[in-house]
Structure 1
């Protein structure tokens, strides 16, 4: 007889306002423990020192994680001007310095080059894999690597405050895979003054806002309490960026069994990726083809 996984079959999203300190994995494990959940994961890593939205997927919601990972996200961050560090944040060693400080107008002018489709080189201390090994592991051993630039969509990058000559606060909305530390590093290089991230907060991610998140203290206080379940958001919120189609009763049965199923008429295009609901619950994600949806993911909740 096979071993059964421990924990409850519970599905939905729990939004955490992550404090500085713990890793994203630590937060996932804390939530899984507090809710006695069988399965949990997160949508988009935050650096240990970063704060803000960490959306935790439980049970069937883990099947929607890629759609939150791909969604737009917004960050507010403070950049320290005049210093470059080997980690591109305040945790690292200072490796270059400058007495030059750009004016507010010079900073605003420089931001334009970082908006739209840009190419970005991840930090040396990042989770990017180089020859099968995480870059940060090789960086800790003193190795300096050539990391390939990768595309990033930056919707908006604004200067929101200039507390003093050494610091500037920026707000960025971007797509999947953005490194705020790289933005700070490259902005400093572009202005000839060096820079790194001093503080970072993710204020929203897809449909989830930091101000709606629970603190880890609240999660711990409510561990094992049904009141914690009341904070769960529906699985369907993870699909907010996809068009929704409604299944017929027969179509829902077929889709749940992994077969193409009939949906009600809609204006989506042939081949579009969609999610299908029946009586308000997610049934499947798949491709729309001539009145049917061919499922790629099926929900059992």
Structure 2
């Protein structure tokens, strides 16, 4: 018999306004401690030096993490011109420099190539797996690996402000995007080289930085009703899926992993979630008036 995990059964989301200088995993550990929760996870890693929205799921909300991770995200960031670094941000060692600087027109002309569906090679220091190992672990060991490009959809990329030394941009993109790679590749395209000077995630799927709790507030309100009151409903993690209310008497069937009738319909074979008086029961596939559960929620 496995060991029972200590802590409370807490279910929902907390948006943390992550500061620079801490890893996303460390933030999750702080949130789990502050709520004395059994289980926690996050939807989308932020680099240690990045700030902004880190959506942390607690309890059964962790089952909705993939749907937030897959959602669009919005970033504000500054690119510093004139140097490329080993990590593509200010934390790395400078590996190449350039005296060239782009003017506003050159920058505007370069941006269209970075919009829409593009191919992006992740930074050497990234969480991409290479033969089972993380790229950042290989980089720490001094190994240079050839990472494969991957598609990324960039919904928008605009200049907010610019000067001789760099530019501030705003970008909305899909899953798997590396802002550091955008800075690196844009610097190369302009011939001036570049890296991320700072980065802030302003929203991720349904979660906004305005909802974010600071680490100072988290620690001050730890294990108190005040912190519990900040918890957001777990169904926010399902905002990208249609909600199908259970037919009377079928919520328990669906909750036990069996197909059950739902009141509304969607396209045959579509993914949706079943609710009972607004409370999530299961995620599943809709077929002919029924939801066939693939993932049920246990409260």
Q: What is the TM-score of this pair, normalised by structure 1?
A: 0.98
Q: Is the 8 A contact 1:78 1:167 kept in 2?
A: yes
Question: Is the 1:13–1:56 contact (alpha carbons within 8 Å) kept by the matching residues of 2?
Answer: yes
1:107 has 2:100 as partner: no
Q: How many aligned positions are there?
A: 299
Q: Which structure 1 residue ranges, 5 or more long, are not aligned?
A: none
- Partner residue, 1:206: 205
Corresponding residue SS for 2:153: strand
Equivalent-residue separation in structure 1 for 2:46 and 2:123 (angstroms): 14
The reply on whether 1:192 has 2:191 as its aligned counterpart is yes
CA contact (8 A) 1:250 1:261 kept: no
Q: Tell me the equivalent position of 1:272.
A: 270
Aligned partner of residue 240 in structure 2, secondary structure: coil
Report deviation, 1:8. 0.1
Residue 37 of structure 2 aligns to a residue in which SS? coil
C-alpha distance after superposition, 1:11-30 (max 9, x if no partner): 00001000001100000000
* Structure 1 match to 2:230: 231
Distance 1:147 1:237, change over 3 A: same
Question: By how many angstroms is 1:265 displaced?
Answer: 3.0
> Which residue of the partner structure matches residue 91 of structure 2?
91
Counterpart in the other structure of 1:289: 287
Q: Distance between the aligned counterparts of 1:159 and 1:231, measured in 2?
A: 34
Post-superposition Cα deviations, 1:94-133, rounded to whole Å, max 9, x if no partner, equal: 1111111111111111111111111100000111111111
Whether the 8 Å contact between 1:122 and 1:179 is mirrored in structure 2 is yes
State how far apart, in whole Å, the 1-side matches of 2:118 and 2:22 are.
Answer: 30
Q: Deviations over 1:144-182 (max 9, x none)?
A: 1100001111100000011x2011000000010000000
1:136 aligns with 136
Q: Could you tell me which residue of structure 1 aligns to residue 161 of structure 2?
A: 161
Residue matched to 2:35: 35
Segments of structure 2 that go 5 or more residues without pairing to the other structure are none
The Cα of 1:299 is off from its aligned counterpart by: 1.0
Q: How far off its partner does 1:4 sit?
A: 2.1
Distance 2:288 2:84 in 1: 55
**Equivalent residue for 2:16?**
16
> Is structure 2 residue 274 aligned with structure 1 residue 253?
no
Give the secondary structure class of the aligned counterpart of 1:249: coil
C-alpha distance in 1 between matches for 2:2 and 2:187: 56
Contact 1:273 1:286 in 2 (8 A): yes
Aligned to 2:172: 173
Q: Which segments of structure 1 move beyond 4 Å, counting only runs of 4 or more?
A: none
Q: 1-side partners of 2:154 and 2:274: how far apart?
A: 30
State the TM-score, normalizing by the size of structure 2.
Answer: 0.98
Superposed displacement of residue 251, structure 1: 2.1
Distance in 1 of aligned mates of 2:160 and 2:297: 42
Question: What RMSD in Å do the two structures reach over aligned CA positions?
Answer: 0.9
SS at match of 1:250: coil
Any idea what SS the aligned residue of 1:233 has? coil
Could you tell me which residue of structure 2 aligns to residue 218 of structure 1? 217
Q: 2: CA distance between counterparts of 1:123 and 1:190?
A: 16
Q: Does 1:120 align with 2:147?
A: no
